[in-house]
A and B are shown apart, each in its own frame.
Chain A
Amino acid sequence: MFTLGARAQNKQILYDFNEIPQSLNLNPGMETDFKWFAGIPFLSGISGYAGSNNISVNDIFADDGLDINLKIRERALNVLTPKDEFSSTIQLEYINGGFRSADPTIFYSFGGYLELDNITYWPQDYASLIFDGNADQLDREYDLSDLKSRGSMVNVMHFGINKRMDRNLTLGVRAKLYSGIVDYSTSTNKGYFRNTIGQNNRIATTLSADLMLRTSGIEAFDQAADDDAVSSEFIKRAFLGGDLGLGLDVGFTYHLSERTTLTGSILDLGFMHHSNSAKTYSLEGRATVEGIQIDILEDFANLNTDFWQNLVDEVEAAIPFNTDTKSYISFRPTKLYGSIRNDFGEPVGNTGGRLDCNCTVGSSGGGELRMAYRNSIGAQIYMINRPRGPQVALTGFYTRRIGNIIALKATYTADKFTYTNVGLGLNIQAGPVNLYAMADNLLSYRNLAASHYASFQFGMNIISWGAKK
């Protein structure tokens, strides 16, 4: 009935990068100094990542003269475990904007983005069965729970409120409406497949299965493909004609002192109800077979029975394969960000001011102003709830503001994918035009194919800080 969603990109460079409006999507309680901003439609936020923590494209496909079968054996089959993942996310903002309320302590933001993501864990025992089979493996239990995979395409529409409570505290909340386009999930599998010495025959083969694959939208697109109406089906499902869900982001910024700031956010506390074109496939039961068994004394009157077909029927009855169209609920991947930041150096506003702004954080229309400083240094944490337990990434960062035009943020991140993840973000403010670009795991650029993780983010906005005072 329930499945846990669990994938998303760690946007550690964008987080707490207050110059960039999209940072509000990572912390609705971020301090803002915009009067208003408008993302360039379809260009305001494009991001994506691909990661596999224990194997790379280069490991298998390098043109090194080695036999691919040997490479797969030595670098995948003998090494990977069910904790190793292959995941990716692509996110495209099609609209994003924000404006300050008549009450200058309140900032509203809104937008919509498409998100396509998937995660698959290495199905170790399935791979063993597929590549090696079960011969000469008496008593080995092939664990059917090794199969964990899920993915979705969803349109997210959101509206956020950011409120500066006082000079030290800013709070924010964002409501999200999810419109599911496609979803699949097989993550609650249990059971085993095992050969043992038989009671009567040489080998007893046991399958104990509790397998389930949930899908939503796939049938609808299959039908739409037949009707040559894939585009209209996509638009329909993306805009409230598919599965629906609700979510919430919350966040805060709190100044421990004039230059030391604590931030935190929890994103995607939400769920989706998959009721439109949902289809679930399941295989559940237990059977032990020792081949066709004929006891002439017991079966004497029924020796003309089709023993083979009986065996097949018995197995199918014991482990039935079922499909149904019941709705199901999936939970969105809940993420947590936190940071502590220390600002130092000259205040930015003391040297001429930003082109169109008053160069303070949380300043527009506000009463008590805070200065932005040339440098910031700090640490961040990112956590995401994964099917195989929470996953954590730790980041150290340094932000440098050069004049009022350029801000650079360099990060070092240690996580499941790599301990050598150095990232760099660049924000440029040219009058009202804001551009940003970020790339991750830069050290792996020496040989991209050997990288376990690569991500990017870029976008373009128009920002106004209002008239100078």
Chain B
Amino acid sequence: MKGVCNLIMVFFALALMFSCTDKQDFNQIDDLEITPTYETSVFYVKAQESIINRINGVSFFSQDFNFDAFAEPFFANRVLSGVLTYELENTTSKPIEIILEFLDENENILDTEIFRTDAAPTSTLTRDVAYGPTGKNLEIIRNTSKIRLNATNLGDNTSASSLPDPAIILRSSAKFTLEVR
């Protein structure tokens, strides 16, 4: 019986004797960085020329919108950097100014973007605004809870564009890098 046990031990001993392994360093996992970049649309606002012509006064639109997307903990706690891309398309017959303000919960203004576009025909205005190490302060994004949109008609209230469905359209998308790990 003892001899048999010895034989079994020899079997495993041989297996272990001829086995070896390169040195492993499992602490490397601490150096793992996971920083994906996600992209999606943020908001889209369209004001038809007919609306602009109907409203007397310079500012034809001013509105605060709740916008908690950036304040979601998963995003706010992990965001490293990002870019907001705006596209302003004007097919109306008047020059227009758009003022975009980022507000925190207490309605303090954190950041302002001003867009001016000529009357149609004019090219689409595109602007990238960076946040993070190479751009504006990321706290603007983290603390944004509302967006205030002010649109100003810098032209008249009577002219009409000959383009189909004339309107001023503000499009936007976000591309942000998060630190998942």
Binding site for B on A (CB under 8 A): 57-58, 60-64, 67-69, 72, 129-137, 195, 198, 200-205, 289-297, 300, 303-304, 306-309, 405-406, 426, 428, 430-431, 433, 435, 437, 439, 442, 445-450, 458
**Interchain Cβ contacts under 8 Å between A and B, 13 examples:** A58-B24, A62-B22, A62-B24, A130-B34, A198-B171, A203-B40, A291-B44, A293-B44, A295-B46, A307-B66, A308-B65, A433-B4, A448-B20
Interface hits, B1-26 → A, CB 8 Å = 1, 3-5, 7-8, 11-12, 15, 18-26
**Cross-chain contact of B20 among A201, A297, A439, A446 (Cβ < 8 A):** A446
Contact between A133 and B171, CB atoms less than 8 A apart: no
Chain A contact residues: over half helix, strand or loop, or mixed? mixed
Binding site for A on B (CB under 8 A): 1, 3-5, 7-8, 11-12, 15, 18-26, 28-29, 31-34, 36-48, 50-51, 61, 63, 65-69, 85, 87, 171-173, 175, 177-178, 180
- Given contacts A430-B3, A435-B8, are A445 and B22 in contact (CB under 8 A)? no
Cα separation A129 to B172 with both chains bound (whole Å): 22
Contacts of B44 in A (CB 8 A): 198, 200-201, 290-294
Cα separation A134 to B65 with both chains bound (whole Å): 27
Shortest Cβ distance from B4 into A: residue: A430
Cα separation A30 to B70 with both chains bound (whole Å): 66
Contacts of A204 in B (CB 8 A): 41
Give 5 nearest A-B pairs by CB, closest first: A133-B36, A445-B19, A291-B41, A135-B37, A63-B25
Seed contacts A72-B32, A405-B4; 7 additional CB < 8 Å A-B pairs: A131-B36, A133-B39, A294-B43, A294-B45, A307-B65, A308-B69, A433-B4
Contact between B39 and A308, CB atoms less than 8 A apart: no
Contacts of A132 in B (CB 8 A): 36-37
B78 nearest CB across to chain A (Å): 12
Contacts of A307 in B (CB 8 A): 43, 65-66
Shortest Cβ distance from B86 into A: residue: A202
**Cross-chain contact of B23 among A62, A134, A405 (Cβ < 8 A):** A62
B124 nearest CB across to chain A (Å): 11
Contacts of B69 in A (CB 8 A): 308
Contact between A195 and B39, CB atoms less than 8 A apart: yes
A313 nearest CB across to chain B (Å): 13
Number of residue pairs spanning A and B whose beta carbons lie under 8 angstroms apart: 173
Counting chain B CB atoms within 10 Å of each CB, the highest count among A130, A133, A290, A300 belongs to: A133
Contact between A292 and B42, CB atoms less than 8 A apart: yes
**Cross-chain contact of A68 among B7, B19, B28 (Cβ < 8 A):** B28
B2 nearest CB across to chain A (Å): 9
- Given contacts A69-B31, A202-B87, A296-B46, are A308 and B68 in contact (CB under 8 A)? yes
Cα separation A202 to B126 with both chains bound (whole Å): 11
Contact between A291 and B33, CB atoms less than 8 A apart: no
Contact between B61 and A201, CB atoms less than 8 A apart: no
**Cross-chain contact of A290 among B36, B39, B41, B61 (Cβ < 8 A):** B41
Cα separation A430 to B20 with both chains bound (whole Å): 32
**Cross-chain contact of A435 among B4, B47, B63 (Cβ < 8 A):** B4
Contacts of A69 in B (CB 8 A): 31-33
Contact between B66 and A201, CB atoms less than 8 A apart: no
Contact between A447 and B42, CB atoms less than 8 A apart: no
**Cross-chain contact of A203 among B5, B29, B39, B46 (Cβ < 8 A):** B39
Contact between A292 and B65, CB atoms less than 8 A apart: yes
Cα separation A433 to B3 with both chains bound (whole Å): 12
Contacts of A448 in B (CB 8 A): 19-21
Contacts of B178 in A (CB 8 A): 133
Contacts of A293 in B (CB 8 A): 43-44
Contacts of A291 in B (CB 8 A): 40-44, 172-173
Contacts of B50 in A (CB 8 A): 297
Contacts of A200 in B (CB 8 A): 44, 46, 171
Shortest Cβ distance from B149 into A: residue: A294
**Cross-chain contact of B24 among A61, A130, A297, A309 (Cβ < 8 A):** A61
Cα separation A130 to B175 with both chains bound (whole Å): 15
Cα separation A63 to B29 with both chains bound (whole Å): 12
Shortest Cβ distance from A428 into B: residue: B4
Cα separation A58 to B87 with both chains bound (whole Å): 49
Contact between B41 and A289, CB atoms less than 8 A apart: yes
- Given contacts A130-B34, A294-B65, A428-B4, are A198 and B15 in contact (CB under 8 A)? no
Contacts of B19 in A (CB 8 A): 445-446, 448
Contact between A428 and B7, CB atoms less than 8 A apart: yes
Cα separation A200 to B172 with both chains bound (whole Å): 10
Cα separation A361 to B12 with both chains bound (whole Å): 29
- Given contacts A131-B34, A132-B36, A306-B66, are A296 and B41 in contact (CB under 8 A)? no
Contacts of B65 in A (CB 8 A): 292, 294, 307-308
Contact between A437 and B39, CB atoms less than 8 A apart: no
Cα separation A129 to B28 with both chains bound (whole Å): 22
Contacts of A406 in B (CB 8 A): 7
Contact between A205 and B41, CB atoms less than 8 A apart: yes
Cα separation A450 to B36 with both chains bound (whole Å): 29
- Given contacts A69-B31, A448-B19, are A129 and B36 in contact (CB under 8 A)? yes
Contacts of A308 in B (CB 8 A): 65-69
Cα separation A198 to B147 with both chains bound (whole Å): 22
Shortest Cβ distance from A298 into B: residue: B46
Cα separation A13 to B173 with both chains bound (whole Å): 60
B168 nearest CB across to chain A (Å): 9
Shortest Cβ distance from A405 into B: residue: B4
Shortest Cβ distance from B65 into A: residue: A307
Cα separation A450 to B1 with both chains bound (whole Å): 36
Cα separation A200 to B96 with both chains bound (whole Å): 20
Contacts of A202 in B (CB 8 A): 41, 85, 87, 171-173
Contacts of B47 in A (CB 8 A): 296-297
Contacts of B173 in A (CB 8 A): 201-203, 291
A298 nearest CB across to chain B (Å): 9
Contact between A130 and B39, CB atoms less than 8 A apart: no
